[in-house]
């Protein structure tokens, strides 16, 4: 399967990426078929040379069936070459368990009840 993905170049702590078409089984920085653009994360977001794309060749490879990586798909959606990918819903694992949620609801109700009663007393005193 063909993939449109990034290969890392540049010096240590100074990353620079080429956007390439490669066989999905080849190593990240290994052999590729064609270079389609560049990405320099060190440049400001609005800089013209931060992301460069060869739109004609990318359109060709997408028609042939190459699958973009998540980051490259984000770049292509920003360039309006494809629809943005659907974001996955978060799993329920990081949420508190049922007992903890009950305690949180009880604490919220307890803190809200005295506040309401205090406002009523202040209004009656005025």
Give the pLDDT confidence of 31-82 residue by residue, as tens digits: 999 999 999 999 999 999 999 999 999 999 999 999 999 999 999 999 888 8
Is 114 part of any domain? Answer: no
Return the residue matching tokens 């990586």: 69
The pLDDT value recorded for residue 116 is 59
The confidence score (pLDDT) of residue 120 equals 53
Place of tokens 């070459």: 81
Long-range contact pairs involving 54-57 (C-beta distance under 8 Å, separation at least 24):
55/79, 55/81
Query: What percent of the chain lies above the pLDDT cut of 90?
Result: 63
- Looking at the domain assignment, is residue 10 inside a domain? yes
Residues linked to residue 7 through DSSP beta bridges, in sequence order = 18
Report pLDDT for 84. Answer: 82
Q: What is the CATH number of the domain that holds 14?
A: 3.30.1320.10
- Please state the domain count of the chain: 1
**What residues make up the domain containing 35?**
2-78
pTM: 0.67
Query: According to the model, what pLDDT value does residue 92 have?
Result: 72
């Amino acid at each position: 399967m063909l993939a449109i993905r990034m290969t890392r170049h540049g010096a240590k702590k100074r990353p620079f990426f080429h956007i390439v078409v490669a066989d999905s089984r080849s190593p990240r920085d290994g052999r590729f078929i064609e270079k389609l653009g560049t990405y320099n994360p060190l440049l400001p977001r609005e800089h013209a040379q931060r992301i460069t794309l060869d739109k004609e060749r990318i359109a060709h490879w997408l028609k042939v069936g190459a699958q973009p990586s998540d980051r490259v798909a984000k770049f292509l959606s920003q360039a309006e070459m494809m629809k943005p990918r659907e974001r996955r819903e978060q799993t329920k694992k990081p949420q508190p368990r049922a007992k903890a949620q009950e305690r949180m609801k009880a604490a919220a109700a307890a803190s809200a009840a005295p506040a309401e009663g205090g406002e009523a007393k202040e209004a009656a005193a005025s």
